[in-house]
Amino acid sequence: MTDQLSLRELAGHLGCEFRGDPETTVTGVSTLQQAGESDLSFLANPRYRKHLAQTRAGIVVLRTDDAEGYDGAALLCDDPYASYARAAALFDHARRFEPGIHPGAFVDPAARVADGCFVGAGTVVESGAEIGSGVHLGHGTIIGRNCSVGDNSFLGPRVTVTAGARLGQRVIVHPGAVIGADGFGLAFHEGGWIKVPQLGSVVIGDDCEIGANTTIDRGALEDTVLENDVRLDNQIQIAHNVRIGAHTAMAGCSAVAGSARIGKYCLIGGGAGILGHLEVADRVTVTAMSLVTRSITEAGEYSSGTPLQPNRDWRRNAVRLRQLDDMARRLRRLEKE
């Protein structure tokens, strides 16, 4: 994170070629339309190329082909959006903090907090917890007994980590997330429910991101596991004993039921659901609002649900939907005849 970077410095950080005055400097980022002379911007989507000629951005990240005819300072690369993301991180002031333990925090004498950490007001670090170097624990965050947080992780306000959960390095957890709550384990006996003790934990790999108010339940016996570089959006439910493969991303309000296994490099759309004990292969995309009711064994894109349509059409089709079973039976009879 910095206050000012030159074109030459940015090219070195990003491994890009550059055109223009190498001493051109920027102090922030913005869109092509809104950028000023001190801003870095980017062109990734061809539909915004019309704004390139009029932009006032000090530096623009773009493909070599798109730079033809552009006279301003430019960073040239194959993937402008990825390069922009890496550049923008250098100006991310929101993650800056001064190390120190707030007087209103409680750190148990039997916990270990490494050097360079920030522990906010009202934050509690319980006995046996281990906090790596350069970690940020936001105000009101709870790190339970025997939990661990890896180096350079950033936990926002009111995060709860419990049940011996272990977070890797450079993990980002947004406000209100709960990691290690009991899974939904119940046994029905003689007219009532018996709670099944949840005895596992949660293991989160390096470079993962957990969205606001997302919940990741501890395992019943085995651990719930997120492998490296898993990205979860806000308000997602991950049930007990789920395993999510590396580099998988899930959009908001999706949910995974207990003991499901999701492969690597999967994309799960917003509001999608995956039933328990199913397996999803590597490189599967599940589109928004879909429900996965069977295991998916091959890579590809999968959808379910009914697209939006005018209410009059929906009512008519809903009637026909209720008639499908009868129609199928009649069709089989006709075929036999």
Which residues are catalytic, by number? 240
Could you say which DSSP state residue 334 is in? H
Residue type for 315, please? R
Instruction: Please work out, in degrees rounded to the nearest 5, the angle formed at the alpha carbon of residue 229 by the alpha carbons of 224 and 233.
Output: 75
Alpha-helical (H) ranges within 124-231 are none
Residue type for 210, please? I
Residue listed under structure tokens 């019943």: 220
d(CA 145, CA 124) in angstroms, rounded, equals 10
Instruction: Please work out, in degrees rounded to the nearest 5, the angle formed at the alpha carbon of residue 206 by the alpha carbons of 250 and 222.
Output: 75
d(CA 176, CA 21) in angstroms, rounded, equals 45
Q: Which structure tokens are listed for 318?
A: 């809903």
Q: For the chain, first and last CA: distance in Å?
A: 76
Alpha-helical (H) ranges within the chain are 7-14, 80-89, 311-336
d(CA 79, CA 88) in angstroms, rounded, equals 14
